[in-house]
């Protein structure tokens, strides 16, 4: 089965041979035709696909014109060409209009990244109306999102049409039952739920088109998502096309299943199957990073959240009247050695104007490097020496900094405690109760950083349960308060750390 696009937007010609069943990762620069190709593939099973993707302006024939556009389908030697006729796309010859009925797919499904949600009315949330979500859907969510809360996922049939099920996660507080609705789900959770519902119910031997659903997920969750999709595709004989710009997915996909779209200056698009990830990443990363002036490598997601708040506060305090501000990206890499190695080896990926820095946790400077010098670890010291001017250190280990702030507020800083109790708009929490509870005090690992991680998770989980806020929002707010606590009205510390970075010419 061959699909050929001609004169669609910037595409002069794109010929695509349908691959065998399995999971295929489709990637390429913006403008190489990924979305247009998905539209033509979706049309195999959905008659409204062209109207959905190829939107026109009926009152002005010079806007979004498809006058010369053509989409051709060939199946077993038979051909049908679709052209836009002013109101709809028509097949020629007309006798082949039903050619797509001969496709080998039981159905064709399209899943895109979307925050669309369904919220039940209050009177619909009744124990007798709640149903447990399908086990395979719950298993998919738990595996991808690495959170057992999805094991208790429920749904209720709403009054707004067949199939509009509203999903809920039950929890208890003071012995009473409460529910998180889809309104409380993050974009990544909503996208994963949407995909789980589709892939778990789609008939065997179907075609599934997944359009950048992973974009709202952490890299580790992206890897788990790909693994689950591959597993279900094998079980059900699915053909899955995964459109993505994610370096994580490209690096973790089977190389033989990577389809790279390449466009030349005339608009001819070629498909390279089995492209090497390094080749694809050099192409994709360069395109993505053109919009960034700075790239900061950090150790983990918590460091990323802290750096976001620090940079935002630095810009607000030190450059409040700037007519424009630099664009930056923050990339969690792993251990501090891996961060510095990435800093040293990534120059070929980025254009020259993109400045790259490593922002490491404080304990790397106060412990790891001190120990390396004492033990004369020349390999580690040499690694740091090659990047000395581009390695900076955060004022703390993120979780430890927040926990020390919380515990200090309870012990000796009433003004800070009052502010922290009201750090979430419209909500009042009791930091003293949270940090003196038995379950909190029983978290006593010897390593102070490990202990701080456990204790911060304990506090965050309780605040999430009390407020219904998203976990990331809770952590981000706490890191913002830490920055206010650390730097207050004096931006000297921020200026000392970040000034040399952003003021380099």
Asked if the model's pLDDT at residue 136 lies above 60, the reply is: yes
Instruction: Give me the pLDDT at residue 505, please.
Output: 41
- The answer to whether residues 199 and 192 touch, using CB atoms and an 8 Å cutoff, is no
CA angle 312, 317, 318 (to 5 degrees): 100
**pLDDT for 290:** 47
pLDDT digit string, tens, across residues 64-100 = 457 788 999 999 889 999 988 666 788 888 888 889 9
CA distance from start to end of the chain: 54
pLDDT at 328: 86
C-alpha of 431 from chain center: 31
Residue 327 has pLDDT above 60, yes or no: yes
Residue scoring higher pLDDT (64 or 296): 296
Which domains can be identified in the chain, with CATH numbers?
Answer: 2-113+204-287 (3.40.50.300), 122-184 (no CATH), 290-505 (no CATH)
* Torsion from C-alpha of 391, 394, 397, 398, nearest 10 degrees: -120
Q: H-type helices in 46-149, by residue range?
A: 49-53, 135-145
Rounded (5°) CA angle 479-329-473: 30
> Residue 100: CB partners within 8 Å, gap ≥ 6?
43, 44, 45, 73, 75, 80
- Whole-number pLDDT of residue 483: 92
State the pLDDT at residue 55: 65
- What 3-state DSSP class applies to 56? coil
């Amino acid at each position: 089965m061959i699909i050929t696009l001609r004169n669609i937007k910037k595409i002069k010609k794109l010929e695509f041979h349908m691959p065998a069943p399995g999971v295929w990762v489709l990637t390429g620069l913006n403008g190489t035709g990924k979305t247009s190709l998905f539209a033509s593939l979706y049309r195999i099973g959905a008659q409204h696909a062209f109207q959905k993707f190829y939107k026109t302006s009926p009152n002005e024939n010079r806007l979004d014109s498809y006058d010369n556009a053509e989409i051709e389908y060939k199946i077993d030697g038979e051909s049908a060409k679709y052209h836009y006729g002013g109101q709809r796309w028509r097949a020629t010859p007309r006798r082949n209009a039903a050619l797509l009925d001969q496709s080998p797919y039981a159905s064709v499904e399209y899943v895109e990244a979307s925050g669309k949600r369904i919220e039940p009315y209050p009177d619909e949330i009744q124990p007798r109306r709640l149903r447990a979500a399908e086990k395979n859907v719950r298993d998919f969510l738990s595996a991808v999102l690495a959170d057992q809360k999805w094991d208790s996922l429920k749904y209720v049939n709403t009054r707004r049409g067949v199939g509009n099920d509203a999903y809920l996660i039950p929890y208890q507080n003071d012995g009473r039952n409460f529910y998180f609705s889809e309104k409380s789900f993050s974009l990544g959770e909503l996208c994963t739920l949407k995909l789980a519902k589709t892939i778990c119910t789609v008939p065997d031997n179907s075609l599934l088109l997944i359009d950048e659903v992973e974009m709202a997920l952490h890299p580790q969750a992206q890897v788990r998502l790909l693994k689950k999709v591959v597993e279900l595709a094998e079980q059900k004989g699915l053909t899955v096309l995964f459109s993505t710009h994610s370096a994580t997915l490209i690096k973790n996909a089977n190389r033989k299943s990577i389809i790279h779209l390449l466009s030349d200056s005339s608009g001819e698009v070629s498909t390279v199957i089995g492209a090497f990830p390094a080749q694809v990443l050099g192409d994709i990363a360069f395109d993505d990073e053109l919009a960034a002036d700075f790239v900061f490598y950090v150790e983990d997601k918590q460091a990323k959240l802290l750096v976001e708040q620090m940079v935002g506060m630095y810009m607000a305090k030190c450059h409040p009247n700037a007519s424009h501000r630099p664009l930056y990206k923050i990339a969690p890499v792993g251990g501090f050695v891996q961060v510095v190695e990435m800093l040293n080896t990534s120059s070929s990926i980025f254009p020259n104007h993109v400045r790259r820095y490593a922002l490491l946790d404080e304990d790397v400077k106060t412990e790891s490097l001190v120990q390396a010098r004492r033990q004369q670890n020349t390999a580690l010291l040499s690694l740091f020496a090659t990047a000395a001017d581009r390695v900076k250190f955060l004022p703390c280990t993120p979780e430890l900094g927040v926990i020390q702030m919380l515990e200090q507020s309870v012990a000796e800083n009433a003004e800070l405690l009052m502010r922290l109790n009201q750090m979430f708009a419209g909500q009042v929490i009791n930091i003293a109760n949270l940090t003196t509870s038995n379950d909190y005090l029983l978290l006593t690992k010897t390593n102070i950083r490990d202990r701080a991680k456990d204790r911060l998770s304990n506090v965050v989980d309780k605040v999430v349960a009390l407020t219904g806020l998203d976990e990331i929002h809770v952590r981000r707010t706490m890191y913002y308060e830490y920055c206010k606590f650390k730097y207050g009205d004096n931006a000297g510390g921020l200026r000392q750390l970040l000034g040399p970075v952003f003021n380099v010419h």
